[in-house]
Structure 1
Amino acid sequence: MLIVIGAIVVAITVYLMVKQYETRLVLFGAGMFLALCAGEPMAPFKAFSHAMQENKLFEAIIAVMGFAMVMKLTQCDQHLIQSLVKPLRKAGPLLIPGATLVTFFINTSITSSAGCSAAVGSILIPIMLAAGVHPAIAAAAIYAGTYGAIFNPGYAQVALVAEVAKASNMEVVSNHFMTMLATGMIGAFSLLVVALLLKENKGYVVPSDKQLPADFSVHPVKALVPLIPLVLLLLGSFGLVPALKQLAISHAMIIGVFVAFAVTRTNPQKISKEFWHGAGDSFGHVFGIIICALVFVSGLKSVGMIQAMTDAMVHTPAIAKISATFGPFILGVLSGSGDAAAVAFNRAVTPEAAKFGLSAIDMGSAAAIAGALGRSMSPIAGGMVICAGFAGCSPLESAKRNAPGMFIACCVTMWMMLYK
């Protein structure tokens, strides 16, 4: 009975979000209702407290949003945008898949989907908007590339598959390399097709209050400032500058703020105020949605929906191949976490892969990739919320545009990994 109630509440929640009711209210209310139905009224409050203590995610988000506000104050973001808009317009519709693939590459080093969304989205989304790309497509293009981390041998999901399959991390990455490459291309170019069909690849006009004077002159040094944190992070992540290896996203953003002051000589009091203004906004708007999403997920857990889906996959070996892909995929969509979905499957089912006539390394990678694909079209995923915030659109609108490509990519993952 609780499962039925859960399914009805999920349907109503999706409907209310489509109708653009206040996202935080809908998610928090749905989570509370489900928990009360399950007789666990404290579950949402525990999820709320747990989310408030997610200091690593919180640290990255507030620092990036604070940095973005400083870039806006100093107009360094506009110098970068204006310097790139003309050449990028020549790329035509390829700007959209190009942004996805660039994010895909960067995510191999900045492996947090939320952190990568914040670091890359703060630069590329405004550039895409200025080039005429619709906000929902611009946000979707960035988040569609945030599962490139599975290329990284040190990524937690790769390590888990290696442990279960009794293989090395490099063997796991080599095994799913071509599948990842294919799904990345599918996600990028499927979004382009969606943009062309909806005529959202060009024509968007930035609101007049955000436009610059016609005689705005680009300063090349100021144009480089927004790139400073990303360059520092990449130099450290790829080991090109060992001293930067331990540099956190938040630290890179703070360094960027100091560089902005040195280059523009803006009043430091104004810079401080804008940085903390951005930090506060990020908590209220971005992190607020993430908190409420976790409350909603706790409600789903309370009524047993997440566990029921996991059990169905475990106890249905006849459809093991479908379960290994679409099980984590659906869980990723519902929970906003590809890692949680894949870990649950790979811990419970993948060790028994031989019983289904499959190899553990293939089944494990399929589950990890599918979970990430599902998360990449989830309207409650933290990274999606961040990208939508930069674009000024609804997370659900961006998620809908990513859905066709992620679904097709999941089918291709199943075929390439489990039917080869």
Structure 2
Amino acid sequence: MVITGIVIVVATFIAIIKQFETRLVLLLSGLLMCLIGGQLGAGTTAFVKELTNPGLVPTICTVLGFSYVMEYTKCTEHMVYFISAGLKKMTKIIIPGAVIITFLINIALPTAAGCAAAVGALLIPALIRSGVHPAMAGSAIFLGTWGSSLSPGLMFNPQVAQLAGVDVMTVIASFSMQAIIGIVVAAILLNIVAIVKKEHTGYVMKNDTVEEGKEFKVNYFYAIIPIIPLVLLVLGSKQVAVIPEISV
């Protein structure tokens, strides 16, 4: 059984590395283990149980639903334009600035793909036009897409909170300072790499295909909407307690 389990785990990793659908691969490998162990129904039971888990589903669905509404109403677009407008004026710190901005936005938009699409579409062309090499511009955005670690919508945060018997914000508060220090250090190191490789400035695209950004009038009310829930959660957390406690 142990050897069979190891083989299945290794095969699962290989399938994921080959870019098969991750969730499907994990589901099938789990069901296969249950089948071999003579407990096929256990996999289905566990799957249904987690889909109706009162500690996980409401939190994750609420945050993902909010993110969708923010994208649908273009509030996300207004926020990204508003934040990135100031970054374009600070060319000397544009790479670490892009990393940190992506990190912060990824807290409000907990999916890495959604965050990269929202931020990358604006910041990557801006970085390239500022002379940053395209690979370095993409790296800066990619590096910032672990800001979701501080989001209550990241599935692991409510899961750990449930196991520990505490609220989600308590779990996030316990490692938020380390995460912030980590992203600052990582952003600085990426900037050093860019300087050493001379990819931080001076790049000019051949047959420039990056379109100039269209005129976009920022609605500042729309721009602050995505961060309001995060502010309320922080202010209402047990650690800050400026306002009455507010759940996700």
TM-score scaled by structure 2? 0.61
The question of whether the paired residues in 2 share the 8 Å contact of 1:96 and 1:188 is answered with no
Percent identity reads: 27
User: In 2, Cα distance between the equivalents of 1:21 and 1:101?
Assistant: 27
Which structure's residues are more often helix, by fraction?
Answer: 1
Q: 2:35 corresponds to which residue?
A: 36
Offset at residue 30 of structure 1 (A): 0.8
Q: 2:221 corresponds to which residue?
A: 221
Q: Aligned ranges for residues 38-117 of structure 1 at < 5 Å?
A: 38-89=37-88, 90=90, 91-95=93-97, 98=100
2:19 counterpart SS class: coil
The question of whether the paired residues in 1 share the 8 Å contact of 2:5 and 2:33 is answered with yes
Distance 1:248 1:82, change over 3 A: same
TM-score scaled by structure 1? 0.39
Offset at residue 228 of structure 1 (A): 1.4
User: In 2, Cα distance between the equivalents of 1:19 and 1:198?
Assistant: 30
Give the aligned length: 203
Q: 2:21 corresponds to which residue?
A: 22
User: In 2, Cα distance between the equivalents of 1:119 and 1:200?
Assistant: 30
1:39 counterpart SS class: coil
1:127 is the counterpart of 2:128: no
Distance 1:144 1:61, change over 3 A: closer
Greater RCO (Cα-Cα under 8 Å, separation 6 or more): 1
User: In 1, Cα distance between the equivalents of 2:99 and 2:215?
Assistant: 31
Q: Structure 1, unaligned stretches of length 5 or more? A: 104-116, 147-154, 161-172, 204-210, 250-420
Q: 1:241 corresponds to which residue?
A: 242
Q: 1:145-192 CA distances to partner (integer Å, 9 max, x unpaired)?
A: 67xxxxxxxx969x89xxxxxxxxxxxx8xx9x9x5898369835984
User: Aligned AA for 1:219?
Assistant: N
User: In 1, Cα distance between the equivalents of 2:75 and 2:63?
Assistant: 15
Offset at residue 98 of structure 1 (A): 3.0
The question of whether the paired residues in 2 share the 8 Å contact of 1:79 and 1:219 is answered with yes
Q: 1:92-119 CA distances to partner (integer Å, 9 max, x unpaired)?
A: 221365358869xxxxxxxxxxxxx764
2:6 counterpart SS class: helix
1:232 is the counterpart of 2:232: yes
User: Aligned AA for 1:37?
Assistant: I
The question of whether the paired residues in 2 share the 8 Å contact of 1:35 and 1:44 is answered with yes
User: Aligned AA for 1:221?
Assistant: F
Q: 1:142 corresponds to which residue?
A: 147
Offset at residue 44 of structure 1 (A): 0.8
CA RMSD of aligned residues (A): 4.6
Hey, which bits of structure 1, 4+ residues long, moved more than 4 A? 99-103, 122-125, 143-146, 180-183, 195-203
